[in-house]
Amino acid sequence: MKKKHTNQEEQRLQVLTDMLTQLHHGVDPNCLQEAFNQHFSGVSAIEIAMMEQKIIYEDDNDITFEDVLKLCNVHARMFEDQVTGHSAVEIEQENHPVQVFKAENMAFRACISRINNIFKALEALNEDDPSRLDFTDGLKRQYQLLGQFEHHYTRKERVFFPLLEKYGYNAPPKVMWAKDDEIRDLFQAALKQVDLLRSKDFTERLATAKLAFADFEYEFKEMIFKEEAILINILAESLSSQDWAKVSEQSDIYGFAIIRPTGTWTSSDEKDDDQHEDTTPLTKNVDQPRKAIIESQRISFPDGAMLISWESKPEFQATESYQQAIIDPDMPLPVGDGFLSINQMRIILDRIPVTLTFINSAGHIQYTNYTLPCQDKTGFPFQYRENCQIGMAAQTLFPASVWKTIHPVFEKLKSGQEKAVSYWFQETSVGGTAMIYVKYQPLFDDDHQFLGIVECVQDIQRFIDIAPGTDRSVKGPDEADLKNKKLTTLVRLEENLTSKQSETIQFSDGYVQVDWYSHHNQLLTRPDQVAIDQPLDLENGYLSLAEFTSLMNTLPFEITYIDENFRFRYFNHVVPYDQMIFKRSPLEIGRDIEFCHPPRLWPKIAQLLDDLKNARLIIQPMSFSSPNFFAHIEYLATFDDQDQFRGVVEAVLDIQDYRNLANTEKHFF
């Protein structure tokens, strides 16, 4: 019996392959409807989607996503009389994402009906009838209302599709997104014709506008059915209650179309069946503040004895339990909405286009992402710190005249009297002239406890120099960038399980050679073993998970990290989700970066990523303006200390405020 079922599946797969091959060679999709209904009646939308996915990724045929798009309408029509709705009670509940999705589609259909009625009314009017203008204005308002389908589509692509991919459905999202983009183009073409109705030749232009809308309407209604007959069925059979709750929570990032839910749907099922990485809440180390650990040993010799005492450094050293353990440096740890290993944190901090210095709550320099050897004064002041400054008091960073200004500022930031304080000024060195922008912000943890202050320094002259009206200007490979490729030193697990340090101690009658071995008795391999305030070795000092997360969320940039396999791993949380220049959803974490973009853009993005991976480009900037912001984006390739590609950091910010500072200064004194 099992063999018969397998043979039936193979037969259906072959029939579907033959049909797609015919479409590939130009056969009219309508000619395949009867045969499709005969072979696939009773077959679920999920089964057909899985077969399409398998065929697309086979190497022995020429079938493309475009061929599958043609077949979409065929199997959607077959389901037209079969879909009876999902039996789960949850999906029928008020504010459930499925109900919101269907309510929007109903509103779209009503809007389309009104538009067609207005077209009929306009056709019945004489060309010189004064009411024609009122009807035209009404038509434009209905188009604007219908245009809110952009929220509907974007929400589908950014919230629904990642979950489909999570459960193994990679082809349907890609195919449907491509169709969405076709519909977007049809709508813009139709809208353009409505804008021309006020010009001469009204009768002719009305006919053209009606025809353009009819082209859009056909494909748009086809998509509505594909969503409700195929997409929603796949989602309903695949998603858990937890998944639907996440969809409801994240939907507001991208907005709603025409109607809004009255609230956020929550699941009554408390069973956690999330298949993402372990997100067990991290504990907080209760041994605060940390104290020095003192141990003594007496060693006897024939002619005397020696007492050896060990005292751990009070700053930056972990508690005894921490000293006996080492964290797997490649283990993903939950950071904000994403997951990063210690090595990936090093990579991001090493590559972001700002200089950061973190001063902890005790007033000591705990971390900086750019250091120079001591006494090396090259570069602009403030842009680099010396590695010997780690652990020193904050006032050692500044001349006495500047500290008089900065110290009261730090106190106000610590107390909450100030949220941030900035300075900017022209600075000239052997490297040229820069506009240095320095910003100080306090860091607080989730319990509103003061963690410290971060100093963020950048040269904003490159933003000021961008010509007005620049739109997506991308520079070519820069030889200077290629020569100065940054290699990030990573933590190697095998090198850190046991470490050795040797010292020679001189006495009047001889000397002692001391070899110190640090033994780590425990390897931490689970995220829940890492306390949220445990210091993590980030090369130029230490940051805990709480400090790293808070620090990243104070940056002027929206930071996104894509790993070496082009998987979306992390984004920071500078502003609320719906206010981001490039909106991100936590549901996209772990997604292949290809699926995070419209199919039409993927060839360009694939080329950019390949150039960055192979070091044909190290930094790729681009800028574009809109009525609300002037965006600047930098794509930064990352490499480790063995010159291996480790992913891409994307940094995005609104540079308009920086550009407004041209020819102004605000000094420390």
- Indicate the helix (H) or strand (E) that contains 340: strand 338-340
Whether the per-residue pLDDT at 457 is higher than 80: the answer is yes
**Position 291 pLDDT exceeds 70:** no
User: What mean pLDDT do residues 311-315 have?
Assistant: 55
* pLDDT tens track for 182-237: 999 999 999 999 988 887 788 889 999 999 999 999 999 989 888 887 888 788 87
Cα(212)–Cα(220) distance, integer angstroms: 12
Q: Which pLDDT score is estimated for 2? A: 41
Closest CA to 588 of 363, 339, 375, 418: 339
Q: Is the pLDDT assigned to residue 653 strictly greater than 50?
A: yes
Mean pLDDT of 431-439: 86
Quote the tokens at residue 157.
Answer: 């692509």
At 40, give phi and psi (nearest 5°). -120, 10
Q: What separation in angstroms does the CA of 179 have from each of 68, 158, 222, 227?
A: 10, 15, 10, 12
> What confidence score (pLDDT) does residue 618 get?
85
For position 88, what pLDDT does the model report? 52
Preceding omega of 289 cis (within 30 degrees of 0):
yes
| Residue with more model confidence, 427 or 507 | 427
The neighbouring-strand residues paired with 306 are 299
Worst-scoring range by mean pLDDT, 290-304, 440-454, 604-618?
A: 290-304
Distance of alpha carbon 309 from its chain centroid, rounded?
49
183 vs 666, residue with greater confidence: 183
Confidence (pTM): 0.76
Q: So what's the pLDDT on residue 269?
A: 60
With beta carbons less than 8 A apart as the criterion, state whether 226 and 71 touch.
no
Strand partners, 340: 333
Q: Is the pLDDT of residue 625 over 90?
A: no
Q: What is the pLDDT of residue 379?
A: 43
pLDDT at 378 over 50: no
Distance CA 598, CA 173 (A): 10
**The predicted structure's pLDDT at residue 361:** 94
pLDDT of residue 89: 64
- How many CB atoms within 10 Å of residue 197? 20
Q: In this model, does residue 313 exceed pLDDT 80? A: no
Quote the CA–CA distance of 648 and 348 in Å, as a whole number. 9
Distances (CA, A) of 80 to 5, 222, 226, 227, 229: 26, 11, 9, 12, 7
What is the Cα–Cα distance from 247 to 266, expressed in whole angstroms? 10
pLDDT at 658: 94
> Which pLDDT does position 41 carry in this prediction?
80
Q: In this predicted structure, which of 108-122, 318-332, 473-487 has the lowest mean pLDDT?
A: 473-487
Cβ 25 vs Cβ 17: under 8 Å? no
* Residue 560 pLDDT exceeds 50: yes
CB 247 within 8 A of CB 160: yes
Give residue-wise pLDDT tens across range 117-144. Answer: 999 999 998 877 888 888 999 999 999 9
Question: Taking Cα atoms as reference points, which of 188, 179, 255 lies closest to residue 220?
Answer: 179
- How do residues 161-188 score in pLDDT, each as one tens digit? 999 998 888 888 888 999 999 999 999 9
Q: How far is CA 35 from CA 29, 32, 46, 74, in A?
A: 11, 6, 19, 10
Strand partners, 506: 511
pLDDT of residue 59: 66
The pLDDT assigned to 114 comes to 96
Model confidence at 17: pLDDT above 70: yes
Place of tokens 């100065």: 484
- Please, are residues 353 and 365 in contact by the beta-carbon 8 Å criterion? no
pLDDT grade, residue 274 (50/70/90)?
very low
Beta-carbon count within 10 A of 373 CB:
8
Beta bridge partners of 621: 634
Q: Alpha carbon of 398 to those of 357, 402, 425: distances in Å?
A: 13, 6, 16
| Distance, first Cα to last Cα, the chain | 87
pLDDT at 490 over 60: yes
- If one compares 563 and 529, the residue with the highest pLDDT of the two is 563
Highest mean pLDDT among 478-487, 506-515, 528-537: 528-537
Say whether pLDDT at 383 is over 80. no
- Whose tokens are 């940056």? That residue is 555
CA 186 to CA 202: how far, in whole Å? Answer: 21
- Looking at the predicted structure, is the pLDDT value of residue 503 above 80? no
More confident residue, 521 or 215: 215
pLDDT of res. 472:
58
* pLDDT number for residue 547: 94
Supply the pLDDT for residue 6: 62
CB-based contact 359:365 (threshold 8 Å): yes
Residue-level pLDDT at 616: 85
Element of type H or E holding 648? strand 645-654
Does residue 336 register a pLDDT over 80? yes
- Average the pLDDT over 359-383 and give the result: 69
pLDDT score of 443: 95
Residue 369, pLDDT score: 86
Whether the per-residue pLDDT at 276 is higher than 50: the answer is: no
644 dihedral zone (left: phi>0; alpha: psi -120 to 50; beta): beta
Mean pLDDT, rounded, of the chain: 82
Give me the pLDDT at residue 244, please. Answer: 93
What was the pLDDT predicted at 588?
93
User: Around Cβ 184, how many Cβ atoms within 10 Å?
Assistant: 16
Q: Report the alpha-carbon distance of residue 125 to residue 127 in Å, rounded.
A: 6
The share of the chain scoring above pLDDT 70, in percent, equals: 78
- At residue 508, the pLDDT reads 66
* Contacts with 300 (C-beta within 8 Å, 6 or more apart), sequence order: none
Report helix angle 45-56 to 171-195, nearest 10.
100
pLDDT higher than 80, residue 377: no
In this structure, are residues 91 and 245 in contact, taking their beta carbons and an 8 Å threshold?
no
